Amino acid sequence: MCRHDLREQGRRASGGWPGTISEARATVTSYFSAELRERGMHSLTAEEREWTARCAYAAARRDWLDHGDREEAEP
């Protein structure tokens, strides 16, 4: 779930990163399969797909932690 979706539901985008590496793999597979097919190119190898998923996961996690809502301190 992305920050925008949470905020539209009236929820705060705070706390630990909610994503998983499995979700990153699925997103990378979906995006690159369609994009490369449209361009008439070969699909990613398993190694390329894994590397790309891990990079996407790390970037999304870093962005989430850098830009998430601050949790309010309890009284």
Residue 72: both structure tokens together: 């309010």
Q: Is residue 25, in this structure, part of any structural domain at all? A: yes
pLDDT at position 64? 82
pLDDT digits (tens, 9 = 90+) for 5-36: 777 877 766 666 678 899 999 999 999 999 99
- Structural domain of 34: 3-67
Q: Any idea how long the chain is? A: 75
Q: Is residue 24, in this structure, part of any structural domain at all? A: yes
Q: Is residue 72, in this structure, part of any structural domain at all? A: no
Total domains in the fold of the chain = 1
pLDDT at position 59? 92
Residue 17: both structure tokens together: 């990163």
pLDDT at position 71? 59
Q: Classify 44 as helix, strand or coil.
A: coil
Question: Which residues does 59 contact at the CB level (< 8 Å), separation at least 6?
Answer: none
Q: Is residue 20, in this structure, part of any structural domain at all? A: yes
pTM over 0.85: no
